[in-house]
Structure 1
Amino acid sequence: MKGLALRRLNARKAENNLATLCQPFHGENLIDDSTASYHLLIRQQAYLRLTIVVLPRLSINNPKTTIKLVLILVALALYDTLWDLFLSLLHFVLGTLHILFEFCEHTLERLIEHLFHTDPRAAEIIVFYIMLTIGAYAAFKLMQALPHWYGKLAEQLADYWHQEKTKTVSTWQNQSVSKKIQWGSVVITSALVIVMWLIS
């Protein structure tokens, strides 16, 4: 009971502070208009920061959180369909790249035959060594760049993980008990539905 009374008292204090923050500032209590404008600007900035930056992050009705949850549930429920779609898209991309490669190779062979007056066999050998040289150079550059890319990607992923973890923990801790129960019920119900769907 004491904890509930303390939470209610803190909520009332927060409401009073917000109401005070939103009240229009009266210039007669100040020395001059410039001071009134300055204090009014400070209050407006604080109110905007509270309503635009802080409250949306702490709200359980945050659209970003809802969208993430919906996407996760859709991915879990339709994983086989999404996997088939991914494989089909990958097959299409690889097939298109293969056709483009064959087109470039054929065009280069015809160009070499025309410029150097060679037979098709010699043109094929020249094109092969040209592509081998290009591939070796690209592989060498890729091997040089991979450690840097990997380190940068790992650092970005670690930073993103820590930011999301901190934000999620902070959001969860700032939720009321009823909101926590609501979120827990939604997650447990969704997990049970997915498990029952998988084993059925």
Structure 2
Amino acid sequence: MNLIQFFNKEITFTEEENEVLATAFKEENYAKGTTVIQPHSFSKKVYFIEKGLLRCYYYKDGKDITHFFFDEDTFTAPLNSVFYNKEEPYGWETLEETRLRVIQYADLQELFIKYPSIQRFFFNVSLDILNAFALKLEYLQFHNAEERYTNLLETSPKILLRASLGHIASYLGITQQTLSVIRGKK
């Protein structure tokens, strides 16, 4: 789904608002394996994934850990940079050919002032993203490895086909060996 279709899925924007949004969000294309944001860098951009898959990751004790996956029809932003004016501890990598629509957060704030409907839309998007992170935290804290895998299978089955087993295992907080055992049972 393209950006404008996604915007109008939940709220019907006026022709003017659609035109403003289409112009404000610039298209960026990336090949598979491209680092969009380096860990410990600084970015004030908001991203919409029109096509492809992004992996948000960090390093812990020299290990590459997958924090989150963002696929089509998803908004995301480097929260530490955008909201707290700090470097972003996470890196973002494309796991397949990816098309993003990008806007500077300052430019988006100007749209919020001029078009309250856009601000309302992004408030709802923010709640959806917050909920996704809360659910991931709940599964990491209160569910075993097999339950976490089953949840991923039920909620995001496409990720299992698009990301490597190593990335999936680190996202679930388990070893690749444990993931192989769980997958063997299914």
Choose between structure 1 and 2: higher strand proportion.
2
For the pair shown, the structure with the greater C-alpha radius of gyration is 1
Pair in the same fold by TM > 0.5: no
Choose between structure 1 and 2: higher helix proportion.
1
